[in-house]
Amino acid sequence: MTRRTILAGNWKMHKTVEESAALAASIAAALKDKPSNNSSAAHEVVVCPTYLALDRVIAELKGTSVLVGAQDMHWESQGAFTGKISGDMLRALGVTYVILGHSEQRAYFHETDETVNKKALKALAEGLKPILCVGETLEEREGGVTEKVVETQLRGAYAGISAQDALNTVVAYEPVWAIGTGRTATSQQAQEVHKFIRGLLTSFYDSETAEAVRIQYGGSMKAENAAELLAQPDVDGGLIGGAALKADTFLGIITAS
Ligand code: 13P
């Protein structure tokens, strides 16, 4: 089974609208003549700017193969939810992916497995593709409960999602201790957890579905470590923070893959 590598830049709370448009334009320009980004090729490239910049970035990337994702959404279509954005609004704008359950949302904004699940079900109903983030803290890894934590998060995220809808999801394994720290999981550590995640997906669905779902690694991925991580049999892409904020470092990862 060959899964198409998915390399997604999570720009987090960085860049003005103008800066976002400029970064998107330089990524698209650099990829334009590369066969690697044809729709039939091995890579799928996604950028996830702030909500504010989505419209401009989508316009900037029109006619290119680079896709756009949002960093979160609410599970209701509309209503009195000050400060929130709905999946309906994202879909209407032309957004393809939506990151859900990022560890920063869990740590700072009360995201729970239950809210991740509500958002995921709504995203799928809207035709958006959720990137479902899971991952343990350093304390949890050192306490030997990585698998337990990842299983609880994954089980929560996929509750009530059909096998057919699961095919439109992506899992991002992001060990919290590797995010923004410069400390990357070794390729062996990543592969172990990715394999465990695929086993869980097999138990939720069936092996055919589990083999088709892509599992990204996230946490200090850069050009220097991307090739080795992506060479692991169950590592199907990357969710990239810091190194996605500049065209050359992001493109370095795409080239390395
Ligand atoms: P860094 O690549 O900066 O470690 O961030 C990873 C991440 O959180 C992507 O969602």
Q: How far apart are the first and last CA of the chain?
A: 18
Whose CA is closest to atom 7 on ligand 1? 241
Pocket probe for ligand 1: among 72, 170, 177, 220, the residue whose CB has the most ligand atoms within 8 Å is 220
Report which residue type is found at 155: R
Is the CB of residue 156 below 6 angstroms from any atom belonging to ligand 1?
no
Span 17-31, mean pLDDT?
97
- Residue 194 is among the residues annotated as catalytic for this protein: no
Burial class (CB in 10 A: 0-12, 13-18, 19+), 130: buried
Distance CA 219, CA 206 (A): 28
Distance CA 107, CA 191 (A): 25
CB 102 within 8 A of CB 72: yes
Q: What is the pLDDT of residue 119?
A: 98
For residue 169, what pLDDT is reported?
98
Each residue of 128-186: pLDDT tens digit?
999 999 999 999 999 999 999 999 999 999 999 999 999 999 999 999 999 988 889 99
State yes or no: pLDDT of 38 exceeds 60: no
- Looking at the predicted structure, is the pLDDT value of residue 114 above 90? yes
For residue 216, list its beta bridge partners.
Answer: 172
**pLDDT computed for residue 37 by the predictor:** 47
pLDDT at 2: 85
Q: Is the pLDDT of residue 80 over 60?
A: yes
Distance 195 CA to ligand 1 centre (A): 21
Q: Where are the alpha helices (DSSP H) in 32-144?
A: 51-61, 87-93, 103-108, 113-125, 138-142
Catalytic, out of 60, 102, 104, 194: 102
pLDDT in tens, 63-76: 999 999 999 999 99
Distance (Å) from CA 69 to ligand 1 centroid: 15
Please indicate whether residue 242, judged by its CB atom, sits closer than 6 Å to ligand 1: yes
Asked if residue 179 has its Cβ within 6 Å of ligand 1, the reply is: yes
Residue 110: domain span: 5-256
For residue 11, report the distance from its CA to the centre of ligand 1, in Å: 9
Pick left, alpha or beta for residue 180 (phi over 0 → left; psi -120 to 50 → alpha; otherwise beta).
left
Distance 138 CA to ligand 1 centre (A): 15
In total, the chain counts a number of residues equal to 257
Tokens of 35: 């066969």
Q: pTM (2 decimals)?
A: 0.96
Q: How confident is the model over 22-48, as a mean pLDDT?
A: 80
Give 78's contacts (C-beta < 8 A, 6+ positions apart). 86, 88
pLDDT, one tens digit per residue, over 217-254 is 999 999 999 999 999 999 999 999 999 999 999 999 99
d(CA 108, CA 102): 10
Q: Does ligand 1 have an atom closer than 6 angstroms to the CB of 183?
A: no
102 has catalytic annotation: yes
Q: How far is the CA of 221 from the centre of ligand 1 (A)?
A: 7
Number of independent structural domains in the chain: 1
Cα gap 120→108, rounded to integer Å: 19
Q: At residue 14, does pLDDT exceed 70?
A: yes
Yes or no: say if 97 and 67 are a contact pair by the CB < 8 Å rule.
Answer: yes
Among the options 60, 104, 111, 174, which is catalytic? Answer: 174
> Average of pLDDT values for 96-122?
98
Task: Give how far Cα 207 sits from Cα of 1, 189, 201, 204, Å.
Answer: 11, 22, 8, 9
The pLDDT score that the predictor gives to residue 33 is: 62
- 64: CATH: 3.20.20.70
